[in-house]
Amino acid sequence: MSRDGVSIIPLPSAQRVQPGDDLTALLLTTLERHGVAPVDGDVVCVASKVVSLAEGALVDLPPGDPRAARRELARQQAAEVVAEAPWVLITRTVHGFVAANGGIDASNVGGDGALLLPRDPDASAAALRAGLAAATGRGIGVVITDTFGRPWRRGQTEVALGVAGLPALRDERGGVDLDGRPLEVTEAALADAVAAAADLVRRKDTGTPFVLVRGLDTAGLPDGTGADLIRPLSEDLFATGGPTAAERAVARRRTVRRFAPGVAVPAHVLAAAVAAAGTAPAPHGTRPWRFLRLRHATRHRLLDAMATRWRADLLGDGVAEEVIARRLARSDAVLRTAPELLLPGVRLDEAHHYPDERRRRAERDLFVLSGGAALQNLQVVLAAHGFGTAWISSTAFCPDTVRDVLALPAAFEPLGMVAVGAPATPPPPRGPLAADGLLADV
């Protein structure tokens, strides 16, 4: 920063940028119209949107609901899906940026399409810098900016995607603090700070593609690029999770009994969860688990038959009619309305046969236990994708009814039902995990 501090000058422009437009020319006329004569060391922040528009990066959205379509487009364009939940898709773009919906923009793009990020923001920044130098004889830095969220912090800020003519990072490692202690990790994200500063004078509802930042003191620091700000994957501690992530993923599973209406469980999420279920340990190296996805008519046919059976059981126990009605209604509220209903089971065909009841029972229990492990995996992975599950006992109490209605073999042992959907309200977080009372030395 110079002694006079830093000035941040918005440079609004009413011109709608079209594919093929010359951004250097537009920037020069905008500066002139605002009576701003650039000087050496000025930095121009350029909204990535106008760079993308000039590049002609507007694409048609896939058909359907626009939000889902934008998400689908982000998936198609992504190098990798980093995280996914019903309300957000975070991807790593081919450039290496990690952003919600891969930074694909649908607001203020002048139509129904969506705008991809600039192809090469550093190259665009360098070209603008060169164009400005040729026209003005001044050394002007350029930062191409976009709006990104940050992990663990609310709100979005402007960040630097492309940088030319100024440092991207200010490396303070090797220096000392006021107390003379060595600075070991400080690397200031200078270009991100410049991008965020520019946003102080820009509003989404005003066309302000350019902002001039004057008075930065970057003397003696080498120029950088936007790519300098991307943490190499080899340093990414979060990609592989680690033990803490595994504990959190497990703790995140909560029984959810009320689902958001109209939010479908995507087929690829269900497939990922069932694939995880299939990694459960099982006796004799078998793969005994099955997940039957109940279609609408099948679901109601099965639930009707189970209700008749349950009613008969409860009447036999002497339970009053109104109590039975209440219990059935409570169960229906989950099982008949859940966006997906799975019937999990284990196949006992490959269980070993024993002549005595003690060992036959142990063998059956082991297969059922393996089913429990698979179901836990399924639920944990669904929870990691932001979907809630309720594992309901139901079918375990009427296996014959289930096998009859669905024409299943006698070796199919039902393990309850699993209702799946987006939670109607976020499930409450668990308290701290503790092994107290569960682990004993003997």
Nearest CA-CA partner of 120 in 146, 89, 95: 95
- The smaller minimum CB distance to ligand FMN, of residues 144 and 402, is found at 402
Q: In angstroms, what is the minimal distance from the CB of 13 to ligand FMN?
A: 54
> At its nearest, how many Å lie between ligand FMN and the CB of residue 300?
19
- The residue among 179 and 317 lying less far from ligand FMN, judged by its C-beta, is 317
Smallest separation, CB 383 to ligand FMN (Å): 10
Distances (CA, A) of 267 to 46, 62, 119, 271, 379: 40, 18, 31, 6, 15
Q: What is residue 370's three-state secondary structure? A: helix
Nearer Cβ to ligand FMN, position 114 or 418?
418
- 357-384 and 267-277 helices cross at what angle (nearest 10)? 140
Nearest approach, Cβ of 370 to ligand FMN (angstroms)? 14
**Identity of the residue, 254 or 309, whose beta carbon is nearer to ligand FMN in the bound complex:** 254
Looking only at the bridges linking them, the beta strands covering 43-47 and 141-150 are parallel
Minimum distance from residue 321 beta carbon to ligand FMN (Å): 21
DSSP per position, 255-293: B---B-TT----HHHHHHHHHHHTTS--GGG---EEEEE
Q: With respect to ligand FMN, which residue has the nearer C-beta, 103 or 416?
A: 416
Q: How far is the CB of 411 from ligand FMN (least distance, A)?
A: 20
- Sheet bearing 7-11, strands edge to edge: 7-11, 210-214, 43-47, 141-150, 153-164
How far apart are CB 322 and ligand FMN at their closest, in Å?
20
C-beta closer to ligand FMN: residue 104 or 282: 282
CB 62 to ligand FMN: min, Å: 36
Which positions lie near ligand FMN, rule CB under 6 A?
254-255, 257, 390-393, 416
- Take residue 255 and report the two structure tokens written for it: 């029984």
Residues 6+ apart with CB under 8 A from 167: 190, 191, 218, 221, 222, 223, 224
Closest separation in Å from C-beta 335 to ligand FMN? 10
Is residue 252 helix, strand or coil?
helix
Q: In terms of CB distance, is 109 or 251 closer to ligand FMN?
A: 251
Which residue's CB comes closest to ligand FMN? 255
Three-state DSSP state, 185: coil
Beta strand pairing status for 412-414 and 80-85? unpaired
Residue 94 has phi, psi (to 5 degrees) of -65, -25
Residue among 187, 295, 277, 270 nearest 231 (CA): 187
Distances (CA, A) of 38 to 3, 35, 41, 215, 222: 19, 10, 9, 12, 21
Q: Report the nearest approach of ligand FMN to the CB of residue 391 (Å).
A: 5
Evaluate the CA torsion angle 266, 269, 274, 277 in order and state its sign: negative
Give the residue with the Cβ less far from ligand FMN, 121 or 388: 388
Nearer to ligand FMN by C-beta: 142 or 380?
380
Whose Cβ is closer to ligand FMN: residue 210's or residue 391's? 391
Backbone angles phi, psi at 31, to 5 degrees: -60, -45
Token pair belonging to 432: 């701290």
